[in-house]
């Protein structure tokens, strides 16, 4: 298959409308060609492209910032001599000065298919800025490695944030190019927008189910996104950023496992299975032990659970990572009623709100976990209508057949 970048580089007719225009690139470490040349270098080598600037999202264009809420500076690229602006530094939206450096912005960002992954919020912000300043935006489309499934509560009005770009569920099932179309419609933007589509993407096909496994290298789009398994789990395990449990940062399997020194993982798994075995389909939970080298519970031995989503255990259609992690929270609350589960700090600078609520786009998930009488069926009653509604809402913007 071919990614949008591949087609853009191969076909001069696609590039023809950019003749005489200043072109900027929004990219990160995973913005590479099949031979692993970075998009910035590949574009700079094209004689018919005038590369005038570059932009980096959260974690920087080089992926140098390990943790969340670590800002990247602007700098001048030493190879190409162009300014590189940070959209996760002093600003989150491009300024007038930044916008003055280009006519067309190429967006080549590998997403993980999850609402909270901030690259999609950055896409929204650049589309809004482009509409206001008469700039063009082209998305060089890439696969959604989590594929087409939809899961999770829809973000509620008033809960928008840098990790909540709009009223979509946690697992949205769209590519970046498709999301751009949805943002333009949702926000009623008048912007010159184009998607350089992928060729041959088959999101329902084994073994990758969204990612062309065996055909393309996995490059970390952010420091703690090391593999396809993490991408599959992320729509659930990202909620751990709002919890006191470790999500495995400081280990070699971040966001595929969770744990803490003061829980019994074996009991947690047994309780999850007793609460709702149907929510655990498509994966295998394994008791494990880990000691984070940084971040939460650093240097402490944690009793943990790893979520296994590789063959032969993985069932793409059945696996529901958001529900798996929700069930883990529920099991811990049932086993340890007074457990201090929820963190309290201004997550992504959202002041006055609990991080778990910011992540989920409402308090509904947390309230369900903390209500001793609430059952999995109660959460399904809230969530399934949201999922069904999104399935219909996204349909007009889907560019690739299933």
Given a cut of 70, whether residue 3 has pLDDT beyond it is: yes
**Residue 187 and residue 147 in one domain:** yes
* 377 in a structural domain: no
C-beta separation of 305 from 287 below 8 A: yes
**Residue 59 and residue 102 in one domain:** yes
Given a cut of 90, whether residue 176 has pLDDT beyond it is: yes
Backbone φ and ψ of 72, nearest 5°? -105, 145
pLDDT of 348 reads 81
**Residue 56 and residue 201 in one domain:** yes
* 328 in a structural domain: yes
- Identify the domain containing residue 333 by its residue range: 228-370
pTM of the shown model? 0.95
* 379 in a structural domain: no
Backbone φ and ψ of 234, nearest 5°? -60, -35
Tell me, what CATH number does 285's domain have? 3.90.1150.140
Please list the residues that pair with 151 across neighbouring strands.
171
Given a cut of 60, whether residue 323 has pLDDT beyond it is: yes
Backbone φ and ψ of 214, nearest 5°? 90, -10
* 386 in a structural domain: no
Tally the domains of the chain. 2
* 289 in a structural domain: yes
* 352 in a structural domain: yes
Span 328-359, pLDDT tens digits: 999 999 999 999 999 998 888 788 999 999 99
Q: How many degrees, rounded to 5, is the angle at CA 387 between CA 203 and CA 398?
A: 40
Is the bond preceding residue 36 a cis peptide, omega within 30 degrees? no
Percent of the chain with pLDDT over 90: 91
**Residue 325 and residue 203 in one domain:** no
Span 254-274, pLDDT tens digits: 999 999 999 999 999 999 999
* 380 in a structural domain: no
pLDDT of 74 reads 85
Percent of the chain with pLDDT over 70: 98
**Residue 86 and residue 197 in one domain:** yes
**Residue 145 and residue 248 in one domain:** no
**Residue 209 and residue 290 in one domain:** no
Tell me, what CATH number does 56's domain have? 3.40.50.12170
DSSP assignments along 89-110, one per residue: SS-SS--HHHHTT-SEEEEE--
**Residue 105 and residue 210 in one domain:** yes
pLDDT of 71 reads 62
* 247 in a structural domain: yes
- Cα dihedral value 263, 267, 268, 270, nearest 10: 170
Query: Band of the pLDDT at 13, cuts 50, 70, 90?
Result: very high
Span 37-95, pLDDT tens digits: 999 999 999 999 999 999 999 888 875 655 555 667 888 999 999 999 999 888 999 99
Q: What is the DSSP code (8-state) at residue 222?
A: S
Structure tokens at 134: 């008469």
Pairing of strands 136-140, 192-196: parallel
CA distances from 293 to 65, 248, 366 (A): 16, 10, 28
**Residue 246 and residue 211 in one domain:** no
CA distances from 367 to 151, 223, 327, 356 (A): 18, 31, 13, 10
Average pLDDT in the chain:
95
C-beta separation of 161 from 358 below 8 A: yes
**Residue 218 and residue 232 in one domain:** no
**Residue 251 and residue 288 in one domain:** yes
**Residue 245 and residue 185 in one domain:** no
Residue with token string 């997403």: 111
Given a cut of 90, whether residue 401 has pLDDT beyond it is: no
């Amino acid at each position: 298959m071919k990614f949008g970048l591949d087609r853009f580089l191969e076909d001069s007719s696609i590039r023809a409308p950019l003749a005489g225009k200043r072109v900027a690139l929004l990219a990160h470490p995973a913005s590479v060609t099949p031979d692993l040349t970075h998009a910035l270098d590949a574009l700079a080598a094209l004689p018919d492209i005038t590369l005038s600037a570059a932009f980096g999202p959260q974690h920087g264009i080089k992926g140098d910032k390990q943790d969340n809420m670590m800002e990247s500076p602007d700098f001048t690229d030493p190879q190409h001599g162009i300014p590189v602006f940070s959209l996760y530094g002093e600003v989150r939206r491009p300024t007038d000065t930044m916008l003055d450096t280009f006519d067309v912005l190429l967006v080549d960002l590998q997403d993980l298919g999850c609402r909270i992954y901030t690259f999609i919020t950055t896409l929204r912000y650049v589309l809004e800025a482009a509409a206001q300043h008469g700039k063009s935006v082209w998305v060089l489309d890439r696969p959604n490695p989590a594929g087409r499934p939809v899961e999770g509560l829809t973000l509620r009005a008033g809960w928008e944030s840098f990790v909540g770009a709009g009223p979509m569920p946690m697992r949205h099932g769209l590519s970046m190019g498709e999301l751009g179309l949805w943002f333009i419609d949702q926000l009623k933007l008048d912007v010159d927008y184009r998607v350089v589509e992928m060729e041959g993407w088959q999101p329902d096909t084994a073994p990758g189910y969204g990612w062309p496994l065996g055909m393309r290298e996995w490059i970390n789009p952010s420091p703690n996104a090391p593999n396809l398994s993490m991408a599959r789990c992320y729509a659930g395990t990202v909620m751990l950023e709002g919890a006191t449990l470790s999500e495995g940062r400081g280990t070699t399997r971040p966001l595929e496992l969770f744990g803490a020194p003061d829980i019994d993982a074996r009991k947690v798994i047994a309780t999850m299975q007793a609460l709702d075995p149907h929510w655990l389909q498509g994966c295998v939970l394994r008791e494990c032990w880990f000691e984070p080298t940084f971040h939460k519970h650093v240097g402490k031995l944690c009793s943990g659970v790893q979520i296994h989503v590789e063959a032969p255990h993985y069932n793409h259609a059945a696996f529901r990572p958001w529900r798996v992690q929700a069930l883990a929270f529920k099991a811990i609350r049932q086993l340890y009623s007074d457990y201090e589960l929820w963190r309290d700090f201004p997550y992504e600078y959202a002041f006055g709100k609990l991080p778990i609520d910011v992540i989920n786009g409402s308090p509904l998930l947390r309230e369900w976990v903390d209500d001793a009488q609430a059952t999995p069926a109660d959460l399904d009653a809230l969530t399934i209508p949201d999922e069904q509604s999104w399935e219909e809402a996204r349909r007009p913007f889907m560019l690739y057949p299933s």
